[in-house]
């Protein structure tokens, strides 16, 4: 099978990125243009499309917090989810300013991790 390491040529990683990354993403964007070009501004279909788009991003958010990769794995899942939930609650209480929620969540995460390390 063709993997990242299967060819030693300098250009192979770039081809890999072009097919596995660029083609795999831009094909959907182009399809979105062709569909969006036929939709009028506030049709029910467009509301449904927007709803699905938001739910897809919600799934990405949940996955990045609950099943992350890399450095976030060092933090316990309960701390990641708790910090996000707390930040979101504070965001809702304080006039829905994104920076308030982000700051709260990050401070909670860092404080929690430092606390756990010193227990």
Binders in 10-69 for another protein, by CB under 8 A: 13-14, 16-33, 35-37, 39-41, 44, 46-69
Does 112 bind another protein (CB under 8 A)? Our answer is no
Please tell me the distance from the alpha carbon of residue 71 to that of residue 61, in angstroms, as a whole number: 16
Annotate each residue in 84-103 with x if it binds another protein (CB under 8 A) or - if it does not, as one string.
x--xx--x----xxxx-xx-
The answer to whether 8 contacts another protein (rule: CB under 8 A) is no
Select from 8, 9, 71, 118 the one that contacts another protein (CB under 8 A): 71
Q: Which of 8, 78, 82, 83 binds another protein (CB under 8 A)?
A: 83
Output the smallest distance, CB 21 to another protein, in A.
4
Of 37 and 78, which has the nearer Cβ to another protein? 37
DSSP 39: -
Q: Is 5 exposed, middle or buried (0-12, 13-18, 19+ CB in 10 A)?
A: exposed
Q: Are 19 and 7 in contact (CB under 8 A)?
A: no
**Sequence-ordered list of residues with C-beta below 8 angstroms from that of 46, at least 6 positions apart, any chain:** 39, 40
């Amino acid at each position: 099978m063709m993997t990242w390491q299967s060819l030693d040529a300098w250009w192979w990683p770039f081809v890999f990125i072009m097919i596995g990354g660029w083609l795999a993403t831009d094909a959907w964007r182009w399809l979105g243009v062709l569909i969006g070009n036929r939709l009028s501004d506030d049709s029910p279909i467009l509301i449904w499309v927007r709803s699905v788009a938001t739910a897809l991003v919600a799934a990405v958010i949940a996955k990045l917090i609950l099943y992350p990769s890399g450095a976030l794995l060092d933090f316990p899942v309960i701390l990641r989810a708790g910090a996000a939930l707390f930040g979101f609650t504070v965001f809702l209480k304080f006039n829905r300013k994104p920076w308030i929620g982000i700051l709260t969540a990050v401070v909670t995460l860092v404080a929690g991790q430092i606390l756990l390390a010193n227990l």
